[in-house]
Amino acid sequence: MKYLDEYRDARIARALLAEIAQEVRGHWVLMEICGGQTHTIMRYGLDELLPKNIELVHGPGCPVCVTPLETIDKALELASRPDIILVSYGDMLRVPGSTNDLFTIKAKGGDVRVVYSPTEALKIARQNPGRGVVFLAVGFETTAPANAMAVWQAKEEKIHNFSVLVSHVLVPPAIRALMTSSECRVNGFIAPGHVCTVMGYEEYEALVRDFRVPIVVGGFEPVDLLEAVLMLVRQLEKGEARAENQYVRSVNYEGNLPAQRVVKEVFEIVDQKWRGIGTIPASGLRVRDAYGDYDASRIYGLASITAEEPAECISAKVLQGLKKPTDCPAFGMRCTPHNPLGAPMVSSEGACAAYYNYRRDLAVR
């Protein structure tokens, strides 16, 4: 299959591993930002195939994992109301809130519906004019254009029973927050290819300049990730720091400009709380005042809902690359995909779920 088989070719992967082993001299800690990249690393054992002086750690690149606990609680509150249809992507339904999850609310009679795009949520709103339809709009820059377009379209069509509960987060401010932490050990980043497909990688230049850290935009297949590691190693061994693009088949420097325009039209940048990490300045999006009639948090008075993380869950350390999921005493025992303490265990992109599927034998007991 084009752009798939060749990026899983074992012969090419072995050649890249040999090049990496030949180039590397120092000890380097590299962080992949995207949860999809983490799952590829775990599935194919790339971290175990790399030289021992290259350590891969996992970043906060799972949108479900970093959605704040209070956003889930707000969604639970809305889903419990008989006059509201709560619409969401499927991976949000098992994310634990303070007391339960959306699956539990649905089982108790709440009208919770799973869709594959926000346009489906708009369709539900057209079909149910007598009820409020709220779409749980979460994610990184990747999903923001489609969610913004749904709001824009609702306003154009004067669909007044549609709104969005927004929890959008941005990658570059998260990298900046990681780099300014006194605990940060990261020497280089593999930036998320899907985000850069929308946003390009121009905005990573400031991070490279400010922190002298190389950043390589990477794809999601084994060959993609090994090539990105090689590009980082070559920079680090030469004492260089540049923003580079491995994922050239999908990403260009400027990104998708029309998609960026619709996001700027509907959303504005704000400080954002990340689950397990805390508030990161200028790292989130909210609905602009001009589209305030489509902001579920304002419409339904949800701003006062707050929540604290479970004390036992170490997702904050995992999302910052400071701990591995198997370092958690609850991993695989009190915390499983069917009974998760935190979002990284339930999300299809979560690091804890990746380790549960592929590395359970490494758990500390």
Instruction: List, edge to edge, every strand of the sheet that includes 162-169.
Output: 112-114, 84-88, 132-139, 162-169, 278-287, 267-274
Query: What is d(CA 135, CA 119) in angstroms, rounded to the nearest whole number?
Result: 10
Superfamily (CATH) of domain 1-309: HypD, alpha/beta domain 2 (3.40.50.11740)
pLDDT score recorded for residue 20 = 98
φ, ψ of residue 287 in degrees (nearest 5): -70, 130
Q: Where in the chain is the domain with CATH 3.40.50.11740?
A: 1-309
For residues 16 and 46, the answer to whether their CB atoms sit within 8 Å is no
* Alpha-carbon gap, residue 29 to 183, rounded angstroms: 13
User: pLDDT tens across 155-191, in order?
Assistant: 999 999 999 999 999 999 999 999 998 889 999 999 9
Residue 361 has pLDDT above 70, yes or no: no
Rounded to whole angstroms, the Cα distance separating 106 from 327 reads 33
Q: What mean pLDDT is predicted for residues 67-89?
A: 94
Each residue's pLDDT tens digit, 295-346: 999 999 988 887 776 666 777 778 777 788 888 888 888 888 877 777 788 7
pLDDT reported for residue 296: 97
